[in-house]
Structure 1
Amino acid sequence: MSVVHGTIRQVSSRTDEAQRLRDLALLRRVRDRMDREYAQPLDVEALARGVHMSAGHLSREFRRAYGESPYGYLMTRRIERAMALLRRGDLSVTEVCFAVGCASLGTFSSRFTELVGVPPSVYRAQMAEATAEPPACLSKQVTRPVRNREARPTTAELA
């Protein structure tokens, strides 16, 4: 009798592992979709429908696999993209908010501040200051053409 139970338990664990691998593949599809479509209106129900899961199961498994909720992951992607847009400096904070798929400027600003540590307007000002033109002496040194015979030896050549 114990052999029968051991066999059943072994088959059950293989089945559970196969299901877990299938779920991980589906979760990767959800994460990839969020990475691609971060600016689109996405919610857990729509993401779950796309992989034929219930919203609750998707949320639980996503958190277990990636350490944060699907919404948290999506907002992180949106804030990362917003940071890049703010560094460019050609869009206002409001334009950036809507460009990354956020519907509320207040939610965007509070989430940005939570993740980055400063409000979007302060981040933009800091980045503008940090990316100001470098000193002329540095520009001259970096942009100076170097002939092959003048090139410094690489680390491998020195060894």
Structure 2
Amino acid sequence: MFRRDVLLVFGLLVVCGVVALGSANLRTSSFEPLGPAAFPLGLASVIACLSLVLLVQSCMQARYKSRLPKVVEAIPTEGVSPLRQSWLAAAMMALAIGFGVAIGILRIDFALASAIFLLATMTIMTRFRLRSLPLILAISAATAFGSDYLFTKILVINLP
């Protein structure tokens, strides 16, 4: 567990570094107060900080294993095979990469790509429960199109 967490942290830190370097090359315009680099840089910073928190937590758990309280997992993995857990992680990573490719290379509209990404992510996380689909559709659409409106109309930040 400790080794896996350390590898995850260093992998995330590398990805955050690449995103930070890539955001430094984004063009800015005179009418945007924050510029397009603010959001990816801020997101990379938050992920890097959370990764370091995970590293500290993992080190403490490895050192004081018997004294720490049991952590409640967002997705229960008890009774779930390691192969299924790996599939879930691989699916989430593939969706994240697909989202980046969709908006960066294929130039799909941000709101549409976000809605599809959120729909797929939440559907997988709820283990394809059909009765959750109407709620997932509503949350995906509201979040994707709401964030698109927030960034483009209110904050006046150009999205890909």
TM-score relative to the length of structure 2? 0.26
Q: Which has the higher contact order (CA 8 A, sep 6+)?
A: 2
Q: Which has the higher helix share?
A: 1
TM-score relative to the length of structure 1? 0.26
